[in-house]
Every structure is written in structure tokens, then in C-alpha cells.
């Protein structure tokens, strides 16, 4: 069962979520501040970070940014719907998904599982290692290299890239991507997709302004290639 | 009601033309009626009034002057003629008898020559005898009335009359010839003399007077036009300013004030306007502040409630799972708490959503979607389709793509269908079609119909009110009581409209190209909610565009 680090300043939310997740078999460590959370990170070695955005001191967005500096740890933000600005900032800072509070434990756990789920191995004929231009995708090892250099991709970025490249030149609507990559309902928040595409382009494109791998089809969605 | 629901085209209603600015208020709100009653504008009316006053005074003065002058001219000539004729006739007096035609003619010619101020024609009548100083023995301008007056016994001093014949005015004087019968008595001789004098010269003089009066009055009128224009514009400028200010106020610029000039009635009006505007601004500001406080309070309360609720909601599962191991009473209490926590979470979420709409903080995150597919997913996610018997029937033509906020549209459809299932009755029908608004905007129309008894007429106007309870007993509804209010706000946020009606009241259009394949059966009941949203809900900068 995954190890989850929860950084949340409100004691009742912290305890409630901890209790709920622990009952479902997760190993949970909690921290009340960003500093304490960052400290616990190295020692606890979690599989996933549940992060409240509104924290005293070092806030959630800052924590997210610091974690992303040297780690591709999956991060799910805990937010209040309507705090739109924070959501966008958090996604830009590298969060993989977000959960709107208040949420039932089953919802939190479903999101955790979706983020942690390993991409299925490609069906049949396709070799595990693919070459697309300068990109080398290893579907089994879940690594991406560009011109021989290994790229550090956050889980959501990796899943998005693998999903798009599994069907090159096929257009996926943002709602479809939300459903397949994030396992959200069909009516999810498309900003999740846009922010992830933006982050991914910054890492894989030669010129992020004129994307070659992940192309936009205005009004329809995104597609991989043609190269 | 939110601001966007106030019909925006109302402010675009063409104002009454400037000409009818006679009354600010009436012109603005009942231009049609106003126009019929007052055909001219204030400016025209003011100028006309000025000219009328000038014309009346000039005309009266001219007329009076003319009449006086003419009277003095005419009566002077008249008096001279009558007096001198009387003298002549008196001189003739007794010498005239007996009447000898030849001598009489000589006398007449003599008198005619002596005529003052101008020579006369003199006629004599004696019985059937007719003699004149001229060639015609009888005059055609002597009227029977004059003859009668002359021959009457009481008028021995003679009579006169002014007669116009063929456009020429004549003075006719009749004088009986009398003789003195000793003492003071006088007796008519039966001979009557008539003098006829054309008054053309007097007429010429009076005509000169008329043209003089006219020549004096016309420039007067023209000169009167000047102060009329000045007065009109001095009255109209403040009126126009007032009109502009009132319009500004109407369009929400409550800090509009009018500069007060002078101390006249218009200045008073401006001052009153300013005071009222100030008063209005103060109360509106106060109202806004109160509204703002109320809004922030609702928002703060929901925020504050949400945090403890987040903790509670996370542990409801623990309660539910362990309830069966607890003593029955404790188990019931625990389940109650768990269930109510869930409802409370929905209520708080809805309250927060509403307060975001109130604070205009609700944002539209549009995406181009297939509407039929989106509705299908909404129904699937809630497990409303596929059951037996089917709760929800659909008529969703493919290929309708629209730019909508998928999450908000999901809320709209889910709320309407959920509402129909809860308060109406299954089967519920969801229909999708295209339509065109009056102004040509392409619309996507979603219609949710249930098979229940319909909405009571007294409830219908309040159906979108917050927490509105259809039945007076204040039972708590199954939902939050905010579902339809949130639906309305979401539709408005898309720039669309939503209507609630009863099926029997909705007219079926047989030739509607997007008409329903299955017309409503006659006499069938049920509520119909119709949502119309523009195909392109709004045109924000495409978020995908700035990635490219």
C-alpha cells in the first residue's frame, strides 16, 4: 500500500483524512506546516504527497515548487473550489492533480490510485521502446530520453505523453484526456490538461512556442505529431 | 436576480426623438403616446409662443392705430361734406319752391361745384321727378334705407351713409329741403336732395396706413424671433443637460451631478436633481455595502464550515463501516450523523457556489464539446440510463458541437433531470436540438420534460428562487434547495436563458425544422424546462492558443 505524506494545517482535516486513508490500508504521515512537511519528506520517503495549498509560512505552492526541483514525486493538491487562482498556480508549479475539499475518503483514494497507477504495457506488436524524432520512450521502464538525455517527467506528464504517443496523430479532446489520463469524470477541469501540456512542452519540445511533438488542434484538442 | 438577467436590450431601447423632449420622464417611457399628444418639441413651442405674443401685440397696436387714423381721416371728410351740404340745402330752402326742373338742375350743378372737400354729384327727388347735377338722373348708390331715413319726418337734419359699390367707397348724404313755417317750426317741402361723393382719396390714405402698420409689425416679428431663440436655448440647454444627467443616472453613473447656474426655476430644478441624485447615490452605496457584507458573510460562513466538514466527511466511511458493530441506538445515531454530514457537504458546496455567483467570481472555463455526448455522460455518471424500466429517455442528435463549460453544463443537466425525477415523475425526457435566436445567434436548446403533474401556477414564478418551498409546510427538500437557483446562474453565465413551463402550456410547432419527432400527446402533463445557450457561449482567448 502506498505511503502518503499529508501536509495540512487544519487539525480536523488532517486527522480525518489520515484516519480515513489509514483505514483503507495506507501508511500515512502528517505534517502541519510546509517546513515540517519538507523535513518529513526525506525521512519518510512517501509514494505520494497530499498537499494543502493554504498553509501558514511556506505555502503549498512553494512546497510543490521545492519538491519538483529534485523529485518527480506524485503531488495531489487539496484545494477549495473557487480558489481558482491557487489551482492554476499549483498546477503550474508541478502538481499532478487536485482534489476539492471537502471530499470523501473514497474520492481521495481514487485520485491517489489514479495518479500512482502504472501505465499499462503497450498492447502486442508495439515494441516497449519507441523512437519518435529525438524522443525515446521506454513504455516498460517508464523513462523518456531526449537526444540521449533522460527527462524527469512528473507522473501526470509521463502518463499524458505515453497516452498521446500510443496513438500518434490521433486527436484527443481535453475531456477525453481528463478521463483517460487523470481518470476524472468526463466533466472535469480542462485546465488540468492545459497546465500539464504546458509543462510537458517545456521539457520535451525544442522550441516550446512552436511545438512539434504535442500539437494543438484548435477547438478539438491535442495530438502527438505528425513529426 | 443577478445583473446579467436584467434584460440588457432594455437600455438600448431607442429613446424618443429630441423633438419630444417636452417631458423627460414621459418621453423616455411612453414615447408613442407622448408623440401623439405633442406634435412639436419644446424649442418649437417656445419660439411659436414668442412669435404669437409678438404678433398679437404688434397686430393689436397696428389695428388700433389704423382704426383711429382711418376714423379721423374718414370722419373729417364726412363731417365737412355733411355740414357743407346741409348749408347748401338750407340756403336753397324756400327758393326751391315751386320745383322747376330747369332751375333745379342749375341749383344742383351749383351745389355740386361747391362740394367740399371735393365736388359731389347731387341728385334731387321730388315725387316721381328725378334730376341730377350729372347726366344720370338717378344714382345707383343711394340705398332705399337712406331714402326712407331722409323722407322720414323726424330726420329733417338729413342722414348719411357710406356705401361701397364696385370696390369704390362712396359717401351718400340725403337732406330734405325744408321751409320755416314761422316760429321754430319747419316743414318738409317734399323735395329731397342727395349728395354722392366718392371717397377714393380717403381710401388711398387708409391703405397707406395699413401698409405702414404692416411694415412696422413685420420687422417687429423678425426681431422677436431673436429673443425667442435665445430664451429657447437658455431653457433648453439646462433641460438637455438634465436629460443627459438623468440618462447617466439610469445607466448606473450615480455620481452624475448638474452644474447649477443662476437662481431661476431651472437652477432650482438642477439643485433638486443633484440633491435627489446624492440621496440616491447614498442609499445605493449603503445598499451595496449591506449586500456586499451579506455576501461576504455567506461566503465566509461557507468557508469556515467547509474546513471542519472536510474532516467530518473524510471519516463518515469509518462511521458507516463500524456502525454494525455498535449497539443499535448508537449505530442509528452514527448513521444519522454520517448521512447528515453528506447532505451538509452538498449544502455548503451549493452555498459556496451561489456566493461565488453573487460575488461575480464564477468563471466560465469553456471547451468545445459534443453536446449530445456530454449529456449522455452526465446521465451515465448518475446511473440514470440503462435501467429497467428506463428512468430517462433521450433524443440527442449527434454532431451538435458547442463551446461550453463542461462542468457547469453537467451541473445544469444533472440538476434539471434530478429535479424532474424527484419532483416530477419518470419517465423523464431529455431532448437536444439546434435553434436560432431572434438576433440570429445559433443556440443549443436542451429540454427536460417529466411525466408528473406539472408545476402549480402559483409556484411557477418562484421555481428558480433560492430555498423556495413549494408546499407551505417547511419540510426540508431532498436537495439543498439551491439546485435550480444554481442551474439558473450557470445558464446565465453562459449567456443563455432557462424557462420553466407545464407541458400543456407549451405550444407545439408542427413545422419547426428542429421540431420534436414525437409531439406531446394531447392532455399529457408534466413540467418542461427549456435551456437555451449560445453555441459559442463566449469567445474568450482560447487557452490552447497561447500555448502554441
The beta-carbon neighbor of A20 closest among B317, B349, B547 is B317
**Is A186 in contact with B543 (Cβ distance < 8 A)?**
no
Does the residue A124 lie in any domain? Answer: no
Does the residue A59 lie in any domain? Answer: yes
The beta-carbon neighbor of B352 closest among A10, A82, A190 is A82
Last residue of a domain, one of A118, A138, A165: A118
Identify whether residues A8 and A94 lie together within a single domain: yes
**Is B317 in contact with A187 (Cβ distance < 8 A)?**
no
Task: Give the residue-averaged pLDDT of B48-62.
Answer: 83
Distance from CA of A166 to the nearest CA of B (A): 22
Task: Give the residue-averaged pLDDT of B325-351.
Answer: 91
Identify whether residues A159 and A73 lie together within a single domain: no
Q: How many residues does chain B have?
A: 548
- Rounded-to-integer distance, Cα B419 and Cα B361, Å: 26
**Is A102 in contact with B378 (Cβ distance < 8 A)?**
no
CB-based contact B384:B392 (threshold 8 Å): yes
Question: Total structural domains in chain A?
Answer: 2
pLDDT tens-digit series, residues B134-185? 777 777 788 888 888 887 766 667 788 888 888 888 888 888 887 766 666 6
Identify whether residues A73 and A168 lie together within a single domain: no
What chain B residue is nearest to A15 in terms of C-alpha separation? B311
Does the residue A9 lie in any domain? Answer: yes
Does the residue A83 lie in any domain? Answer: yes
- Answer whether residue A75 shows pLDDT above 60: yes
pLDDT, residue B33, reads 46
Among candidates B390, B395, B391, which has minimal Cα distance to B376? B395
To 10 degrees, the CA torsion angle through B498, B502, B504, B505?
-50
A-to-B residue pairs, Cβ atoms closer than 8 angstroms: 127
What's the mean pLDDT when you consider all of chain B? 79
What's the mean pLDDT when you consider all of chain A? 88
Identify whether residues A57 and A152 lie together within a single domain: no
Using H for helix, E for strand and C for coil, what is the string for B281-302? HHHHHHHHHHHHHHHHHHHHHH
Interface test with A, best of B301, B311, B345, B365 (most A CBs within 10 A): B311
Question: In this structure, are strands B121-126 and A75-80 parallel, antiparallel, or unpaired?
Answer: unpaired
pLDDT tens-digit series, residues B454-463? 888 888 888 9
Q: Give me the CATH number covering residue A96.
A: 3.40.50.2300
Last residue of a domain, one of A118, A139, A173: A118
**Is B547 in contact with A201 (Cβ distance < 8 A)?**
yes
The three grid cell numbers given for residue B481, joined into one nine-digit string: 434547495
Identify whether residues A39 and A66 lie together within a single domain: yes
Asked whether this complex has an ipTM greater than 0.90, the answer is no
Burial class (CB in 10 A: 0-12, 13-18, 19+), B166: exposed
Does the residue A71 lie in any domain? Answer: yes
pLDDT tens-digit series, residues B257-295? 888 888 888 888 888 888 998 998 899 899 989 988 888
Contacts of B338 in chain A (CB under 8 A): none
Task: Tell me the β-bridge partners of B324.
Answer: none
Identify whether residues A66 and A172 lie together within a single domain: no
Model confidence at B330, in pLDDT bands (50, 70, 90)? very high
Last residue of a domain, one of A92, A118, A144: A118
**Is A20 in contact with B542 (Cβ distance < 8 A)?**
no
Identify whether residues A141 and A37 lie together within a single domain: no
pLDDT tens-digit series, residues B470-528? 665 545 556 678 899 999 999 999 999 999 998 876 655 444 444 444 445 555 678 89
- Rounded-to-integer distance, Cα B310 and Cα B302, Å: 12
Does the residue A22 lie in any domain? Answer: yes
Omega into B427 within 30° of 0, i.e. cis? yes
Residue range(s) defining the domain that contains residue A36 = 3-118
Task: Give the residue-averaged pLDDT of B386-391.
Answer: 76
pLDDT tens-digit series, residues A3-40? 999 999 989 899 999 999 999 999 999 999 999 999 99
Distance from CA of A125 to the nearest CA of B (A): 32
Contacts of A30 in chain B (CB under 8 A): none
Task: Give the residue-averaged pLDDT of B217-234.
Answer: 80
Does the residue A123 lie in any domain? Answer: no
Identify whether residues A93 and A146 lie together within a single domain: no
Identify whether residues A32 and A83 lie together within a single domain: yes
**Is B367 in contact with A175 (Cβ distance < 8 A)?**
yes
Amino acid at each position: 500500500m502506498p505511503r502518503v505524506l499529508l501536509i495540512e494545517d487544519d487539525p480536523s482535516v488532517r486527522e480525518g483524512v489520515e484516519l480515513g486513508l489509514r483505514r483503507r490500508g495506507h501508511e500515512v504521515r502528517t505534517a502541519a506546516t510546509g517546513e515540517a512537511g519538507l523535513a518529513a519528506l526525506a525521512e519518510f520517503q512517501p509514494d505520494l504527497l497530499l498537499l494543502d495549498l493554504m498553509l501558514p509560512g511556506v505555502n503549498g505552492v512553494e512546497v510543490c515548487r521545492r519538491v519538483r526541483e529534485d523529485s518527480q514525486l506524485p503531488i495531489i493538491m487539496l484545494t477549495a473550489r473557487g480558489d481558482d487562482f491557487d489551482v492554476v498556480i499549483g498546477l503550474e508549479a508541478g502538481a499532478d492533480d487536485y482534489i476539492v475539499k471537502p471530499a470523501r475518503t473514497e474520492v481521495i483514494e481514487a485520485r491517489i490510485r489514479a495518479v500512482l497507477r502504472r501505465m499499462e504495457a503497450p498492447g502486442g506488436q508495439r515494441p516497449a521502446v519507441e523512437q519518435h524524432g529525438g524522443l525515446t520512450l521506454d513504455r516498460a521502464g517508464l523513462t523518456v530520453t531526449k537526444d540521449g538525455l533522460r527527462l524527469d517527467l512528473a507522473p501526470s506528464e509521463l502518463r499524458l505523453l505515453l497516452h498521446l504517443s500510443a496513438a500518434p496523430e490521433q486527436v484527443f479532446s481535453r475531456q477525453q484526456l481528463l478521463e483517460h489520463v487523470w481518470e476524472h469524470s468526463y466533466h472535469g477541469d480542462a485546465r488540468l490538461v492545459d497546465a500539464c501540456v504546458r509543462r510537458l512542452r517545456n521539457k520535451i519540445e525544442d522550441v516550446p512556442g512552436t511545438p512539434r511533438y504535442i500539437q494543438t488542434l484548435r477547438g478539438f484538442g491535442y495530438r502527438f505529431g505528425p513529426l | 436576480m443577478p445583473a446579467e438577467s436584467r434584460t440588457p436590450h432594455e437600455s438600448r431601447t431607442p429613446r424618443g426623438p429630441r423633438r419630444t423632449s417636452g417631458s423627460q420622464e414621459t418621453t423616455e417611457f411612453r414615447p408613442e403616446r407622448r408623440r401623439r399628444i405633442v406634435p412639436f418639441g419644446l424649442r418649437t413651442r417656445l419660439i411659436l409662443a414668442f412669435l404669437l405674443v409678438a404678433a398679437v401685440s404688434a397686430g393689436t397696436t397696428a389695428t388700433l392705430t389704423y382704426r383711429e387714423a382711418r376714423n379721423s381721416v374718414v370722419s373729417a371728410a364726412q363731417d365737412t361734406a355733411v355740414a357743407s351740404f346741409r348749408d347748401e340745402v338750407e340756403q336753397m330752402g324756400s327758393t326751391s319752391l315751386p320745383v322747376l326742373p330747369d332751375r333745379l338742375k342749375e341749383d344742383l350743378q351749383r351745389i355740386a361745384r361747391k362740394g367740399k372737400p371735393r365736388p359731389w354729384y347731387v341728385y334731387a327727388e321730388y315725387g316721381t321727378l328725378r334730376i341730377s347735377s350729372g347726366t344720370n338722373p338717378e344714382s345707383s348708390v343711394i340705398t332705399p334705407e337712406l331714402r326712407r331715413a331722409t323722407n322720414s319726418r323726424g330726420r329733417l337734419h338729413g342722414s348719411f351713409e357710406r356705401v361701397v359699390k364696385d370696390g369704390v367707397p362712396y359717401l351718400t348724404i340725403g337732406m330734405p329741403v325744408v321751409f320755416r313755417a314761422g316760429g321754430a317750426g319747419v316743414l318738409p317741402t317734399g323735395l329731397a336732395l342727395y349728395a354722392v361723393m366718392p371717397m377714393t382719396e380717403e381710401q388711398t390714405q387708409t391703405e397707406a396706413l395699413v401698409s405702414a402698420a404692416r411694415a412696422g409689425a413685420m420687422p417687429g416679428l423678425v426681431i422677436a424671433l431673436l429673443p425667442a431663440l435665445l430664451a429657447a436655448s437658455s431653457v433648453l440647454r439646462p433641460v438637455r443637460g438634465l436629460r443627459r444627467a438623468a440618462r447617466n443616472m439610469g445607466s448606473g453613473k450615480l455620481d452624475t451631478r448638474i452644474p447649477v447656474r443662476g437662481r431661476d426655476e431651472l437652477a432650482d430644478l438642477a439643485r433638486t436633481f443633484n440633491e435627489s441624485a446624492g440621496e440616491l447615490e447614498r442609499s445605493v452605496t449603503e445598499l451595496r455595502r449591506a449586500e456586499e457584507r451579506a455576501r461576504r458573510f455567506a461566503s465566509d460562513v461557507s468557508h469556515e464550515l467547509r474546513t471542519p466538514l472536510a474532516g467530518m466527511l473524510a471519516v463518515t466511511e469509518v462511521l458507516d463501516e463500524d456502525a454494525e458493530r455498535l449497539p443499535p441506538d448508537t449505530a442509528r445515531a452514527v448513521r444519522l450523523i454520517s448521512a447528515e454530514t453528506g447532505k451538509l457537504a452538498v449544502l455548503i458546496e451549493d452555498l459556496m457556489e451561489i456566493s461565488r455567483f453573487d460575488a461575480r467570481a464564477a468563471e466560465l472555463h469553456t471547451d468545445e464539446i459534443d453536446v449530445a455526448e456530454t449529456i449522455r455522460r452526465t446521465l451515465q455518471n448518475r446511473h440514470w440510463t440503462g435501467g429497467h424500466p428506463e428512468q430517462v429517455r433521450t433524443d440527442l442528435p449527434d454532431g451538435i458541437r458547442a463551446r461550453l463549460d463542461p462542468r457547469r453544463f453537467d451541473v445544469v443537466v444533472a440538476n434539471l433531470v434530478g429535479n424532474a425525477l424527484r419532483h416530477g415523475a419518470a419517465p423523464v425526457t431529455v431532448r437536444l436540438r439546434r435553434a436560432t435566436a431572434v438576433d440570429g445567434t445559433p443556440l443549443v436548446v436542451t429540454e427536460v420534460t417529466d411525466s408528473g403533474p406539472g408545476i402549480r401556477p402559483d409556484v411557477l414564478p418562484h421555481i428558480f428562487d433560492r430555498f423556495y418551498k413549494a408546499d407551505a409546510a417547511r419540510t426540508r427538500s431532498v436537495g439543498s434547495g439551491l439546485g435550480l437557483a444554481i442551474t439558473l446562474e450557470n445558464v446565465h453565465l453562459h449567456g443563455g436563458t432557462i424557462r420553466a413551463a407545464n407541458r400543456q402550456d407549451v405550444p407545439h410547432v408542427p413545422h419547426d425544422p428542429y421540431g420534436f419527432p414525437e409531439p406531446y400527446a394531447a392532455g399529457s402533463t408534466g413540467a418542461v424546462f427549456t435551456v437555451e445557450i449560445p453555441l459559442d457561449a463566449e469567445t474568450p482567448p482560447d487557452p490552447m492558443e497561447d500555448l502554441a
